[in-house]
Amino acid sequence: VRADAERSAAEPNLDREQFRLDWLGRKQGRLKAISDAWLKAAPVEAKKLIGQRFNELKQQVEALVDESAATAVKVEVRSLDISLPGSAHRPGAEHPLTKTMNELVSVFERMGYSVGIGPEVETDFLNFESLNFPPNHPARDTQDTLVLADQEQKPLRERLLMRTHTSPVQIRTMLAQDPPLRIVIPGKVHRNEAQDATHSPMFHQVEGLCVDTNITFSDLKGTLDHAMKSLFGSSMKTRFFPSFFPFTEPSADVQISCPFCNGKGCRKCKHSGWIELLGCGMVDPNVFKAVDARRIELGLEPKYDPAKISGFAFGMGIDRMTMMKYSVSEIGLLFSGDTRFLSQFA
Ligand code: FA5
């Protein structure tokens, strides 16, 4: 009873340690004194009874000590100083690549385009053959391909590979939908290329496809000029250079006036004032023919007669576009996951 009373008295002052020492201290604690005075000195016939009583007392005291400790934990929690400054949690931010991709996609959405996606593992037919790259044609060498293992026993058109561009999704779209259509397709692509400052074996493209009656090259120019101005600012200029892609005819490479020097000429644009950003062109009639042939194989009505419809397509490298937009010197920084780099975009 005395121990209990003392414990209660000690609690408001949190003097628990003193209470514990007073009772359980090895040299001068009360239990030690009781043990010396009563237990050790007891006559043999009383030892059992006194021992029992002593143990009861000891357990009681220990329970009080434990109870005090539990209360102490609660008291300490309650006594947290809420006026202390908290530790900062920095919120995450959109990756610069995702930012560029989303901005670009929404520019096209505002022009009435819908958004599509496709798989990164493709068939040779969709990645190459239907896009007018015949088997063994040298144009295939322009996109060094990563092929999946154990495909040799399959017919060439069914062999699986990592898509080298987002253009196969043009074919997927035309097999699934009837014209007219306007679609943008963002996604990852893979090529067997060594990494340097501007090349990566995995990079990102945004593909575009517009098919309708009477689509002309000037529609293509106007659309891409508007998209580039929306992304880089209205003072930016575009120019179109003749180029070659098997799936577009005529084809063009689009250059924009260098955003680093405003077209005056600097190291970034090799003093030309222009930077190349994307490939584009009018959909080659052979692509429409391949789509209709495949639609017939699949039991669908052919709808892409090149005598009745026309279209344009484009493909942009989003990694390089992001590098332009945010003055990033190394493509590898975009994939490094280095928070010192990424936190600059928060
Ligand atoms: C194509 O991939 C075509 N499919 C584009 C196209 C689509 C043309 C529709 C016409 C109609 P190209 O191989 O040039 O084209 O690649 C397009 C863009 O991807 C390039 O302009 C460049 O910005 C980017 N690119 C190509 N290779 C790499 C690479 N290794 N690393 C980073 N970006 C790359």
Instruction: Report the share of the chain in percent with pLDDT over 70.
Output: 93
Tens-place pLDDT, residues 33-92: 888 888 888 888 888 888 888 888 889 888 888 877 766 666 556 677 888 888 888 788
* Separation CA 292–CA 314 (nearest Å): 21
Amino acid identity, position 95: H
Tens-place pLDDT, residues 150-184: 999 999 999 999 999 999 999 999 999 999 999 99
pLDDT of 53:
87
| Ligand 1 centroid from CA 315, angstroms | 6
* Separation CA 130–CA 311 (nearest Å): 16
Q: Average of pLDDT values for 128-152?
A: 90
Name the residue of 126, 163, 173, 205 whose CB sits within 8 Å of the most ligand 1 atoms, as the mutation to test its pocket.
205
Residue 129 is assigned to a ligand binding site: no
pLDDT of 49:
86
* Separation CA 329–CA 138 (nearest Å): 32
167 CB-side CA count, 13 A: 30
| Contact predicate 292/303, CB 8 Å | yes
Ligand 1 in contact with 123 (CB < 6 A)? no
Nearest CA to ligand 1 atom 9: 314
| Ligand 1 centroid from CA 251, angstroms | 13
Name the residue of 164, 167, 202, 253 whose CB sits within 8 Å of the most ligand 1 atoms, as the mutation to test its pocket.
167
Closest approach atom of ligand 1 to CA 170: 9
Ligand 1 in contact with 193 (CB < 6 A)? yes
Nearest CA to ligand 1 atom 24: 317
pLDDT of 153:
94
Residue 255 makes CB contacts below 8 A (sequence gap 6+) with: 238, 239, 240, 241, 274, 275, 276, 277
pLDDT at 3 over 70: no
Q: How confident is the model at residue 258 (pLDDT cuts 50, 70, 90)?
A: confident
Residue matched to tokens 């084809």: 251
Q: How confident is the model at residue 22 (pLDDT cuts 50, 70, 90)?
A: confident
Token readout for 77 is 């929690």
Average pLDDT, the chain: 90
Please determine, for the modelled complex, whether the ipTM score is greater than 0.85. yes
Q: How confident is the model at residue 281 (pLDDT cuts 50, 70, 90)?
A: very high
pLDDT of 124:
96
Q: Crossing angle of helices 2-10/44-78, nearest 10°?
A: 20
* Separation CA 15–CA 51 (nearest Å): 29
